[in-house]
Structure 1
Amino acid sequence: MSEQRRSLPRLALPLIVAAITAITAACGASQSTSASGPSDSGTSKEARAALETAFKGATGDLPEVTAKPKAGVNLWVISCGQQQPGCVEPSEAAMAAGKAAGWKTNLCDGKLNPSGWGACIRQAISAKADVIMPVGVDCPAVQGPLGEAKKAKIITIGNGGMDCDVAGGEKLYSAVTTPLKSMTLADYRARMGALQADYVIGKTNGKAKVLLVNFTDPIWGPMISKGFRDELKQCAGCEVVKQLDVGNQDLVNNTLGSKFSSALLGAPTVNAVAFPIDGWLQAGIGQAISSSGRRAQLTVVGNFGNAANADVIRSDGAQDGDVGYSSKQLSWAAIDDAVRLMAGQKPAGSAGVGLVGIDADHNLPKKGSSYEPPVDYVKHYTTGWGK
């Protein structure tokens, strides 16, 4: 089916074509600040245009449902870590979709480490799973267990993670659910970072001096950072002043807040912060920003559109903007890909899961809710499955 709003080949240069001129022109403009980060009162016309381009975002059509769920399927969902909202929401959505398909569902907590993910996959193999769905887990981190699942002829679906071929190895996932047509997962993750960069460029009037938080554990973490850096290069007056590398062990050991606080203290010229996982705000970044004495000088942007972060933005707290996408929608699409594979079909090729810029005045989810697109994907899939 055709993609909405714009063609996806153009989306692969996401928003840059329309915004480069505006962003570049904005790079010499002055910056204005308020009590909760830079305001729009002194923002140039060109910077505002660039922001609006980012806020408009782009999405795609839901795929046609072409297969009915097979009965009696044993589904195992492997959460990347139930202590992080970015793992909880898509994992619970996959469980809900599996139940809607009429399947037996099991959830295993991978506890934010490869050993936990691998143990969950092997537990699923022992339990005679028909479908195993790791959430947010790259293939190289669980190459051995995925190879065992493949040998056992179990369908494995990558939901938000990359396959091993991205790192030069053999494909081991039966399928990796694709968010948008004509865009690789690498491009999609890079687009997240690029939209974050668009936001800080516009909000600082082309004077962004950024503390960039880089997620080192997954393949896709540095892809977000690269997308950010590549987009920021379009602004002559902007730069990444400092990059802070963070891994899951910083969350497990509760050291994220102190590491971030030290990095911010050591970069006094920073006026913008970008971090790749919304849940990290509550894991220490938010408190570090609030207690830094520099909140009024910082434009802060996260990623994923989580409910708690949307409420922080709404309450004028330690975050100004976000990049939203529906991990729940991606999970429903991942279950549909499993339904297709079990019926002898190919995966859909596009889940129609878009990306959109968020702040207090644009695309902000309702209180207590994560970002959701204006489409009823649950009804779409359940109706198509005959449920």
Structure 2
Amino acid sequence: MQSRKRDHMTITHRAARRTRVLTALAVGAALTATLAACSSDSDDGGSASAPSGETSADSALAQEITTLEQPLDAFPVPTDKVDGVADLAGGTIYYVPITSRAPQFAITQAEITVAAKAAGLKVQACDGKGTPTDISACITQATHAKAVGIVLDGLAYDMAANAIEGAQKAGVPVVISNQMTDERHPATETFSNVGTAGSPQMIALAKWIMFDSGGKANVLINEATDGASQIAYVEAAVDEFTKDCPDCTVTVNKVSSASFDQIPSSTSSALLKNPDIDYVISEFAEFLQPTAQGVQQASAKVTMTTAASALSTLKELKGGATLQAATAQAAGYQGWVDVDAILRLHAGQDVPEYEVPTRLFTPDTLDGVELTSDAEQTGAWFGPATYTDDFTALWGVN
């Protein structure tokens, strides 16, 4: 087995140093712009050069990462009003996540409940447990209960196609959330997809690793194989490495919610086969702990990153022991979007293409971020959480 090029302490110090470079570059860019605007003597029209020791590509990537780390000025709420919301009062929306293990889904469930209550509705949650049998049973239960609608979170249509089609035939609207649109299953009067933030999160982690490693990373990605979308998110990251980091190497290790207990041994095996790996991406935060167990089993010295983060993830990130970068999406906002989509299907109105905000976090950028359950649930990590009033105004229930 080859010896490691760096120990973990070196990697951690490098990550902190390069994160500080991001800030310096951002400040430098702002100063350059100010000086250029104030100067009346220069007429050469040339562009500013990259800071000493940094290539223009490094500088551009640093600026991208700085942007990924910033909150929004406002959440992207639709503008078209929804008709007939009051007519649904007292009904129930069923929320079916692919697995309740995912902390992200717990946040979405909490905010679906708040949003539904604002619209005069109730929510019934049913754990899909990562298996087609359990998912189908949840959908069938909702159909028999004559639900106002069914929100399926993080699972593919094909995992429960018969049950989904049965619900639609019974007049129960179905929304698949957090999945890419499947051309084989286009939107209908009773079915729609709601936007996914999977690929942007994975691409953000790829960019951070490229910069942090100086363009020479050996990366292991634990890819969830629970559906085509989860695989596509990883492919987006791999494509990013291929395009912009020729000296990076990426190994993909396949894991799944249904085989959760096998993730530690699977991760350990992948690391032992590839001893030069120095970065690990866990595609979802629910896989982070078993992935870390696999790292320990292999006695590997790596920098950990993860997507789909929750409060516990960011608290671990702030400690900065091993986890060095994490992305998250506004899972609470997603809950309001899901309810909005169900209401629009009931009204016979077009369902818009929602955008779910994401953000990149590192230990150095968590200062000023309120690491509380309330901030996580409302989406305050991503921007001003005033979108709830915007949605209720659209629904006519303010």
TM tier, shorter chain?
Answer: 0.7 to 0.9
2:266, 2:294 within 8 Å by CA — same for their partners in 1? no
Q: Tell me: CA distance 1:308–1:214, structure 2 relative to 1, closer, same or farther (3 Å).
A: same
Q: Tell me: CA distance 1:293–1:51, structure 2 relative to 1, closer, same or farther (3 Å).
A: farther
Structure 1 partner of 2:78: 63
Listed as ranges, the gaps of 5+ residues in structure 1 are 1-29, 179-184
Verify: 1:156 aligned to 2:174, yes or no: yes
1:31, 1:207 within 8 Å by CA — same for their partners in 2? no
Question: Deviation per CA, 1:156-179, whole angstroms, max 9, x where unpaired?
Answer: 11121345x43x35656611123x
State the 1:291 CA deviation.
5.7
Counterpart of 1:256 (choices 263, 267, 279) is 263
Give the AA of the match of 1:53.
Answer: E
Q: Distance between the aligned counterparts of 2:372 and 2:274, measured in 1? A: 34
Q: Tell me: CA distance 1:318–1:285, structure 2 relative to 1, closer, same or farther (3 Å).
A: farther
State the 1:258 CA deviation.
1.8
Greater Cα radius of gyration, structure 1 or 2:
2
Counterpart of 1:321 (choices 325, 328, 352) is 325
> Matches of residues 183-262 of structure 1 in structure 2 within 5 Å?
185=196, 188-233=197-242, 234-240=244-250, 242-251=251-260, 254-262=261-269
Counterpart of 2:348 (choices 344, 351, 361) is 344
State the 1:153 CA deviation.
1.3
Q: Distance between the aligned counterparts of 1:325 and 1:261, measured in 2? A: 28
> Matches of residues 77-156 of structure 1 in structure 2 within 5 Å?
77-156=95-174
Q: Tell me: CA distance 1:45–1:325, structure 2 relative to 1, closer, same or farther (3 Å).
A: farther
Percent of aligned pairs with the same amino acid = 21
1:89, 1:328 within 8 Å by CA — same for their partners in 2? yes
The range that moved more, 219-228 or 317-326, is 317-326
Q: Distance between the aligned counterparts of 1:154 and 1:294, measured in 2? A: 50
**TM-score, length of structure 1 as denominator length:** 0.80
State the 1:214 CA deviation.
1.3
2:97, 2:154 within 8 Å by CA — same for their partners in 1? yes
State the 1:231 CA deviation.
0.5
**TM-score, length of structure 2 as denominator length:** 0.78
State the 1:311 CA deviation.
0.9
1:48, 1:202 within 8 Å by CA — same for their partners in 2? no
Aligned CA RMSD, in angstroms, stands at 2.6
Q: Tell me: CA distance 1:49–1:361, structure 2 relative to 1, closer, same or farther (3 Å).
A: farther
1:82, 1:111 within 8 Å by CA — same for their partners in 2? yes
> Matches of residues 263-282 of structure 1 in structure 2 within 5 Å?
263-282=270-289
Verify: 1:54 aligned to 2:54, yes or no: no
Structure 2 partner of 1:375: 384
Runs of 4+ in structure 1 over 6 Å off: 30-33
State the 1:36 CA deviation.
6.1
Give the AA of the match of 1:131.
Answer: G
1:80, 1:137 within 8 Å by CA — same for their partners in 2? yes
Structure 2 partner of 1:287: 293
Q: Tell me: CA distance 1:55–1:257, structure 2 relative to 1, closer, same or farther (3 Å).
A: farther
